[in-house]
Amino acid sequence: MKVIFYCGHNTFGQINKDEDKIAIPSPKKISVALLADDSTNGKIFIGWDKLFIIKDSRCISIRGFHQNVQEILCQEKVKYLEASVRQTFVLTENSKCYQLRKQGLEELPQCSAKEIACGEKYTISLTEAGEVCVIQDLKCNPLFVPLRLSTHKILAVSCGKEHVILLTNSGEVLTFGGGSRGQLGHGGNEMVKQPTFVEALGGVNILSVSAGGWHSAVVSVIGDVYIWGWNEAGQLGLPCKNIANLNKGAEENVL
């Protein structure tokens, strides 16, 4: 039988509701089986305040908010799940899209996404054809508003707290949204309303993109990592004054 190991944020009991620690620093076994059958492929998805475990392809097990484990049955086999603080979307293997609400899963027939990315400010859908939509009015009747990207086909999308990063089929990177901490990579901290190419990456063939809260990271086809934005907690992997001060204080206490 397969099991889950997890570490990190546990404020909402998403790892273990009986665990007193708000953060678990090293991998720890969760007391729940990942799969009912070792021959079945299971999936794990992580939200800010919840942990989602897909069991037997259709059963969505939800942990978080210091509640008992909730289980929701999807009519179709689950392919992908994306969650933010406020929203959760489920995509199935036969290309159906559902939004998780209090009463259960609600199908969104107007959605034809292969992938959905959720942030605090933006929720973005990506189709098989490489078309991108901003999903609006999430509480009532979601609207899928297309982004005008000329002839560019988008391969991947990722959302931070306030910004979005897009990868084109030619290996170029576009960003838009809030830029207050330099997360857009355009040399300033202004908000950018329309997807704009990151000129600093011109000539670099990018393979994958990822948005953190207020920072961004990309990986090139030769394995180089480019990262920019907020470094308050050392998330860029660069020297950080706050961490240096903490380490200095710890050394003084030891002495």
Question: 119-134 burial, b for 16+ CB within 10 Å, e for fewer?
Answer: bbebbbbbbeebbbbe
How do residues 37-46 score in pLDDT, each as one tens digit? 444 457 888 8
Which two tokens mark 20? Answer: 């007193």
12-16 LR contacts (CB < 8 Å, sep 24+): 12/49, 12/50, 12/64, 12/65, 12/66, 13/63, 13/64, 13/65, 13/66, 13/67, 14/47, 14/49, 14/50, 14/51, 14/63, 14/64, 14/65, 15/51, 15/63
What is the amino acid identity at position 104?
G
Instruction: Give dist(CA 184, CA 190) in Å, integer.
Output: 9
pLDDT band at 247 (very low <50, low <70, confident <90, very high): very low
**Distance, CA of 128 to chain centre:** 19
Read off the pLDDT band of 144 (50, 70, 90).
confident
Residue with token string 């907690």: 233
Question: How far is the C-alpha of 61 from the C-alpha of 221, rounded, in Å?
Answer: 36
pLDDT tens figures, 183-209: 999 999 999 999 999 999 999 999 999
Domain coordinates in residue numbering, the chain = 1-111, 149-241
Q: Specify which of 21-25, 139-143, 202-206 reaches the highest per-range mean pLDDT.
A: 202-206
Order of strands, edge to edge, in the sheet holding 206-211?
206-211, 215-220, 225-229
Q: Is the pLDDT of residue 1 over 70?
A: no
Q: Which of 43-52, 77-86, 214-223, 231-240 has the highest mean pLDDT?
A: 214-223
Query: Measuring CA to CA, which residue among 56, 11, 50, 5 is closest to residue 32?
Result: 5
Q: How many angstroms separate the CA atoms of 14 and 6, rounded? A: 10
Q: Which residue would you say has higher pLDDT here, 28 or 223?
A: 223
- Per residue in 152-194, pLDDT (tens digit) is 899 999 999 999 999 999 999 999 999 999 999 999 999 999 9
Tell me the C-alpha distance between 255 and 245, whole Å.
Answer: 15
Across 53-67, 223-237, 239-253, which has the greatest mean pLDDT? Answer: 223-237
* Beta bridge partners of residue 187, listed in sequence order: none
Query: Exposure of 203 by Cβ count < 10 A (0-12 exposed, 13-18 middle, 19+ buried)?
Result: exposed
Q: Tell me, what's the pLDDT at 246? A: 46
| Cβ atoms < 10 Å from Cβ of 207 | 15
